[in-house]
Every structure is written in structure tokens, then in C-alpha cells.
Structure 1
């Protein structure tokens, strides 16, 4: 590859690149469900900027280019909701998604006191489901997204050593 991909916290200057990347990456999900109104495709830049300012948002960079992103926040019950994990299609399959997920989990547990992690993905999204299972998530239920897509809800508990390893 020539350059190595680095994982770091997102800044307000990353918001536009994250939004463009998110739009690109979620096209395949939209096609899978025949629904181009899924939340990641209709999010506004202002909404994303608010998330970057308040939530735990990480990016993967290849040089100056944002090639991956994930975000999370801790809810009142101590659960960390993780979402919008995406990696540029040309770089998928190289472990970047798992590294982003690990960085978010570490920060949410260590800095924000999360006691468990919760995320969701569409019921037909086999690649996503494989990744989440491989890193320790288990299906705990189903829900319907505001966009009408049937979602599988997955969780894992924060392990005592979950933030000992770095991304």
C-alpha cells in the first residue's frame, strides 16, 4: 500500500470528508435493501458536525484522506451505542473496520464509562454481521429502523481488559 492507515479522533475539519465517505460507503447497503433513504444517506453536514463535537468519533486516514469512520456515544443506562462504521470500498478487507471499532470501544469504555457496547446492522448485511461476530458481538434482538429497514441488534460487554490494547 505504501502508506499506513492511522486511526485518530475526528475533528470538526473532518466532518465534510466523513459525510462524503459515509455517502459512498452506504450506497451498497441502500442497494441491498432497495432503500436510498437510509439514515446515513440523508444525514446533513450540520448534524454530522454536531456528532463530531459531542460524540466519540474516530477516523482512519491514509495520508490526508479520511478512508474510514465510526462514532459512538454513551446512553443514560451506560451502554455505548456505536454506529456508522464505514471503510472506503477500495480498502475494505484489510482490518481497518475492526481497528476503528476497537478504537471507539476503548475510548467509550475508558473515557466515558461504558459498561457494554450496542450496535445494529441490517438483517441482510452479512459482511457486517461477520465482522461484528468476529470481534465478540452477539445478536440480542431485532428492531426496525426509522428508515424501515429491519435491523439486528448486537451487544457485547466491556471486558476488564478491553481497553488495554490500543488500535
Structure 2
């Protein structure tokens, strides 16, 4: 998913930086083919306006901690777009509570961008992070990927993760019903 999203962002004129340190040869190849630029963590956090975390869910919290060790830059938006449920998302968000970095809860509904097929990115945040949500919508939306913002009264961190978990459960249930027929 990450390389496909990276390709879509690159095709829209964005410079997409990624750290390939310690990554597999297959990951390095996908990143290169997508037009992403290998960069150090310091280069990434000093250069980027928005960081999208699209990695295996088991690595989500350690990735956020690694980021925080390297940056307190403002403005910087960190969008956790990993398939984790609400509790881990809120735990990760708490790491950012006393920093200038805007934390967004993100989710991706649909498969990797390919041809005319694009997923929808959803974002939610605590009310004070509305500017971060707007940047997320602007950057992702200009790349041709659909964006839905979960905002307004009662919207919080965890809403996008809850949406993703609900979608996953309903998809699995639907697929199970089809297989059972």
C-alpha cells in the first residue's frame, strides 16, 4: 500500500521521502520504482510538512516513538494511517500530546491505488488539530486520492480507526457469506 500511495503522490508532483534504513531489498525496490527518495530521518522531519505512516500495524507505535526522538518541528503533521484499532491509536496520539506536532488518526478504505482504482483516506483528530486535517485533505486530495474528513462536534482521535475496523469486520463478514453460498 505504501509504495502505491507514494507513487500517486509523486505523480501529483510531490517529493516523497522515505527512510529505507534496515528495510528489505524488496521494499527498497518498490520505493525506487514508485519514485520515492531515500532519506535520513533527520532529512525527513526537517523537510516534510506531513508524514504519512503506512506500515505494518505491529510497527506503528515504535515508528511514532522514533519520529518523536528526531523532531519537535512546527508545523508538522503526523498522520497514522495504519490498520490499528482505537486503543493503540489513542496510545500513539498521547505520545504527541505535549509536542507541536499535529497528530491525525487516519485510515485507508480500499485497495492500493492502481489505474483508475483509488482508496479513500479518512482522517480524524482532536478539535484543536483542524489545520492539520486541512493540510492532510489538501495534500492527499490533490494527488487524486479520495479524502474524507471526520470532523465537527463529537469527532476525536480514534474515529478513523473505528471506521476502518468497522469496514474490515463488515467486509470479512460479507466475504464469508459469499464463500458460504
Normalised TM-score (structure 2): 0.35
Normalised TM-score (structure 1): 0.37
The structure whose Rg is larger is 2
- Choose between structure 1 and 2: higher strand proportion: 1
